Amino acid sequence: MKFLDQCKIIIRSGDGGAGCVSFRREKFIEFGGPDGGDGGKGGDVWIEAADGLNTLIDYRYHQHFKGKTGQHGMGRDRHGANGEDVVLKVPVGCQVFDEDGETLIVDLDQPGARVRLLKGGNGGFGNTRFKGPTNQAPRHANPGQPGEEKTIWLRLKLIADVGLVGLPNAGKSTLLAAVSAARPKIADYPFTTLNPNLGMVDLTANERFVLADIPGLIEGASEGAGLGTRFLGHVERTAVLIHLVDATQDDVAAAWRTVRAELAAYGAGLAEKPELVALNKVDALDPAVRDERRAALAAACGSAPHMVSGVSGEGVTALMRAAYRQVRAAKDAAAPTPEPEAWRP
Ligand SMILES: Nc1nc2c(ncn2[C@@H]2O[C@H](COP(=O)(O)OP(=O)(O)OP(=O)(O)O)[C@@H](O)[C@H]2O)c(=O)[nH]1
Ligand SMILES: [Mg+2]
């Protein structure tokens, strides 16, 4: 399935139905009086976060959504039927922005979250409603209220617990494939990954988290170089970033700094997020080079990097455990689990 994480759509709520002008006419009943019913309400436009969706591709070819018009009122005091609502189903993690692309209207970060974006127009009053002591036979009714129209942006920010960042070819996709059932494309050239990939990492039956692999970052990505930094939105909500540095390059410290600079330039709190630095592809180095590169990277980032290899599996479990600890800590901080009651006989 194609992946699409941003699109613009036009929504419109339904117009209200018009009220009716009608008079009661029956044999032997003189001056039957007004009996025009009200119009029905126009359909609303709702948006709902649905489980099981992971792209906005449905909105690529269908961009206009309109609530139905309410039915007009009818004689004999019959009310028009309300117009049907439209419900836009989007993946969990979708944000809705105003036409300017910046004003956040709603963030659908919980499955089942449902919000009304536009309200349908009210139906107009029929002439029965205008009956009064002075005007007992009103010959007018209200038209229905028109619906509203709006252009909105849908932007998907995937929900993952841990994000993988690094230069192109750092081995991010290889690592994701090593620890989860995901099968991302892996190849020996930069920008193999064009869209984010998610994988579920199962440490034990109840210790699991979602790992996101995103395209590589290069120097100047925040100014649009390479694939840019837009896909960093998919790791904005993670608890921790795993920063992979390819150990087979000469200057590992510079590689680390380049990616850090791009994270800082992107903003949105990515630079402040906990980071696990990992020197990857250590299987390809001889011990002397290995120690030298580890020292160079440690000096740059200020902590001992994890030594891992997505190919041989070395250090991978320890790295995933460390990531899981951060995920756990972040979850506990968000919603502290209540202390179990002490058991007393
Ligand atoms: N020796 C060795 N090679 C690796 C390791 N991990 C990845 N590679 C190789 O490095 C190359 C790039 O791997 P990918 O996993 O596609 O790298 P990526 O970071 O996802 O790259 P982009 O998607 O282009 O950003 C591939 O040829 C892999 O076989 C590793 O641990 N050891
Ligand atoms: Mg990749």
Q: What is the pLDDT of residues 21-31, one digit of tens each?
A: 999 999 998 88
Task: Answer left, alpha or beta for residue 236, where phi above 0 means left and psi between -120 and 50 means alpha.
Answer: alpha
Of 335 and 241, the structure prediction assigns the larger pLDDT to 241
Amino acid in the structure at residue 344: R
**Residue of minimum CA distance from atom 26 in ligand 1:** 188
End-to-end CA distance of the chain: 58
> How does residue 340 score in pLDDT terms, banded at 50, 70 and 90?
low
Cβ within 8 Å of residue 344, ≥6 positions away = none
Say which residues have a Cβ less than 8 Å from residue 180's Cβ, sequence separation at least 6: 199, 200, 201, 202, 211
pTM for the structure as a whole: 0.73
Give 286's contacts (C-beta < 8 A, 6+ positions apart).
none
Give the mean model confidence (pLDDT) for residues 135-160.
91
Query: In this predicted model, which residue has the larger pLDDT, 183 or 345?
Result: 183
Q: Give the model confidence (pLDDT) of 234-253 as tens digits.
A: 888 888 999 998 888 888 88
> Is 193 near ligand 1, meaning CB less than 6 Å away?
yes
Is the pLDDT score of 109 beyond 80?
yes
Q: Are strands 94-97 and 149-156 parallel, antiparallel or unpaired?
A: antiparallel
CA distance 278 to 294: 9
Burial class (CB in 10 A: 0-12, 13-18, 19+), 62: exposed
Confidence of residue 84 (pLDDT cuts 50, 70, 90): very high
Residue with CA nearest ligand 1 atom 6:
171
**To test ligand 1's pocket by mutation, which of 176, 180, 186, 211 has the most ligand atoms within 8 angstroms of CB?**
186
What's the CA-to-centroid distance between 318 and ligand 1, angstroms?
A: 19
Index of the ligand 1 atom closest to the CA of residue 280: 31
Distance between CA atoms of residues 48 and 64, nearest Å: 17
* Ligand 2 center to 42 CA (angstroms): 48
- The pLDDT value recorded for residue 122 is 95
Q: How far apart are CA 110 and CA 107, in angstroms?
A: 9
Checking if the pLDDT of 344 tops 80, the result is: no
Average pLDDT of the residues of the chain: 87
Distance 154 CA to ligand 2 centre (A): 25
Is the pLDDT reported for residue 140 higher than 60? yes
Is pLDDT of 345 > 80?
no
